[in-house]
Structure 1
Amino acid sequence: MKRAVCAALLLALAQVGAWAAPAQALQVDDAERFAALLADGRLPDADTLQRAYLTPGSAGVALFTAGRIESAQNLAQALQAHPQAYRKAIALCLPAARAVAQEAGALMVEVARRLGQPAEAAPAFALFGAMNSGGTAKAQGLGLGLEVLCQSVDTPQDARALLLDFVAHEITHVHQHRHLPAKLDFNLLYATLMEGFADYMMEQARGASSGPSADRERYGLAHEAELWRAFQADVARGAGFGDWLYNARPARAGQPADMGYWLGKRLCEAFVARAPDRAQALTTLLLLRDPAAIVAASGYAPR
């Protein structure tokens, strides 16, 4: 009788553990396969990259190929132009990706919980791209470009922290993509709030930001009012993203690149702080149906 009770208890605990454990983790098989191609010290050519990396690649490689890797020839050219960046990423960021694989899975579940979204598996892939993207996401999952991310870190601890930051940011984008409207005006204000909300959720799930986000935080707090004035003027005149988003070069001397991420995060913080219902506020920011109304309701007005 006691054995039966114990067996039943163990079975129940196992079932609870299976339910609570993250169904996904950061997958590193693509990155491992790429690293193996450089193990002998030589750089693989386009044919080798196609045969041994792109063709057998996961859904993450397919996700990263459109608009990023583009082709084996483009990848080979990036590798020839920046061999040290790839070797650094293999030595530093690939081990970090292995180390945080399970923690990344738990983090994706945590972001989904905070957003009130189903925590079904959203595959996450660590891989190597063509030196033009640190991360991307679609409704089907997310990919992290190690050779780009690794440029901003020099220690294993910083590499692990940055990878987890990007996982939290990009999984927020996955949930955003799952709710995109049929028609979308992807203008400067919309994109700033979209990226800002991903950074906001990253900080909510992870705590203080690291890497480029920390640099933007320091600069932003010291120049908030002037940044907000310049941003409002650019939105009013229908400016593009160049001075605010998706640009590796800073808009002004001494200013970190992509300050739109930080401004968007500050707008989200202000909106949530003034909202009577935090859960509803997060849903509003996730769906992002009326960016101008969100800005108005936030009361954001730094001085």
Structure 2
Amino acid sequence: MVMGGKRFLAGAAAALLILGGGAGVAAQDLVIETGDVDRFFALYEATEGRPSAEQLQAYLDGGSAGLKYLAQARNVTGARMAEANTARPELYAEARTCAAALPRVRARTMEAMARFAEQYPEADFPAATLVIGRGKPVAVGSPVTGIQIGLEALCATRFINPDMEDRFYRVLIHEFAHTQQAPELTEKEDFTVLEVSMAEGVAEFVTELMTGAPAYAYLEPQTRGRELEIETAFMADLDKTDLTAWVYNSTPEKPGDLGYWVGYRIAKAYYRKAPDKREALRRLLQATDVKAVLADSGWRPGMDLS
């Protein structure tokens, strides 16, 4: 979703640490920090799974820059975390199970980043920070603020992809794609439906290009056979600034975010049509005029992209 020194961190969550140099991933090491997860579970165990709002607020206040950014940007407070723990105790109890998938996630992420760097040599990957929050958001990626991933949220959102390893790996690649996009687009105060859908859709297309499938696997079966209907409705809304019908509206009971899927299909149509694939990838990532990309893509509602 839109919107320093190397660190080696010990502890149960630290299975995924540093995707180091090699294979031409980037000039510097690609770092994934897990210290906030270790700190949270130390508190969680010390309080027998019932940390107070005050203790959780101290966890947030003493956290990494990534955790502090996520807390401020997504209204994560100690009180809200305590409420989440009372309402959904399994959210935190099950979060540690994700750690078992992290070594393989690490290897697959490094492979995908090497492929990405080959196709987009100017790639420059910021650190990603794994944190524990209040059950949402799953992830935030930006070229300005880097990547923050809520481990407990990603563990719980099985509807994205029931395979934990695939879910984690592809969401991580999706967020890394966001960090390569133009800040003039990703950091806008007011998106149009087309702008936010293209920002998310390009990240989905890059994920598919590097891993063989988009991150948000539930979208394809949800949209199959409805392409013309959905995309005709999208065309009527593309200049609107009310985003609620198209993005950031998924729940476990009713998955949504159809704008991700439409933006992905536009990006895919553009890439397929372009004779120079490296230049096409560069333009998709650096685009600020998304209407121009749409016009050049040849995409139309209901287009067959199979």
CA distance in 2, matches of 1:114, 1:99: 23
Q: Which residue of 2 aligns with 1:244?
A: 246
Matching of residues 1-303 of structure 1 within 5 Å: 19-20=22-23, 23-39=29-45, 41-51=48-58, 53-90=59-96, 92-97=97-102, 99-101=104-106, 103-105=108-110, 107-119=112-124, 121-138=125-142, 139-153=144-158, 158-176=163-181, 178=183, 180=185, 186-209=191-214, 213-235=216-238, 238=240, 240-249=242-251, 256-301=255-300, 302=302
Residue pair 1:69, 1:130 contacting (<8 A) in 2 also: no
**Which deviations, in whole Å up to 9, do the C-alpha atoms of 1:161-218 show, x marking residues without a partner?**
11111110001111115565887752110000000000111111111246xx222112
The one-letter code of the counterpart of 2:217 is A
CA shift for structure 1 position 68: 1.9
Query: Counterparts of 2:213 and 2:186 in 1: how far apart (Å)?
Result: 31
| 8 Å Cα contact 2:138-2:154 kept in structure 1 | yes
Matches of 2:21 and 2:236 in 1, distance apart? Answer: 52
Distance 1:69 1:147, change over 3 A: farther
Task: Check conservation: 1:26, 1:124, Cα contact below 8 A.
Answer: yes
Q: Is the 8 A contact 2:193 2:242 kept in 1?
A: yes
CA offset at residue 49 of structure 1? 1.7
Identity %: 31
1:196–1:268 Cα contact (<8 Å) kept: yes
Residue 19 of structure 1 deviates from its aligned partner by 4.9
Structure 2 SS opposite 1:143? strand
**Relative to structure 1, is the Cα distance of residues 245 and 112 closer, same or farther in structure 2, using a 3 angstrom cutoff?**
farther
For this pair of structures, how many residues does the alignment match? 277
Task: Measure, in 1, the Cα distance between the counterparts of 2:190 and 2:275.
Answer: 28
Compared CA separation, residues 85 and 163, structure 1 to 2 (3 A): same
Residue 12 of structure 1 corresponds to which residue in structure 2?
Answer: none
Is residue 36–residue 130 contact of structure 2 (8 Å, CA) maintained in 1? yes
Q: Hey, what's the Cα distance between the residues in 2 that align with 1:140 and 1:113?
A: 24
SS of aligned partner of 2:130: strand
| Deviating 4+ runs (over 6 angstroms) | 181-184
> Is the 1:28–1:97 contact (alpha carbons within 8 Å) kept by the matching residues of 2?
no
Could you say if the C-alpha distance between residues 277 and 69 of structure 1 is closer, same or farther in structure 2, counting changes exceeding 3 Å? same
Q: Do the aligned partners of residues 180 and 235 (structure 1) sit closer, same or farther apart at CA in structure 2, a change above 3 Å counting?
A: closer
Decide whether aligned partners of structure 1 residues 181 and 235 sit closer, same or farther in structure 2, where only a CA change above 3 A counts: closer
TM-score, normalised on structure 1?
0.80
Q: Provide the TM-score with structure 2 as the length reference.
A: 0.80
**Secondary structure, aligned partner of 2:74:** helix
CA distance in 2, matches of 1:260, 1:49: 35
Q: Letter of the aligned partner of 1:225 in structure 2? A: L
Unaligned ranges ≥5, structure 1? 1-16
How far did residue 20 of structure 1 move? 3.9
- Change in Cα spacing, 1:181 to 1:261, as seen in structure 2 (3 Å) is closer
Mapped partners of 1:72, 1:182: distance in 2: 27
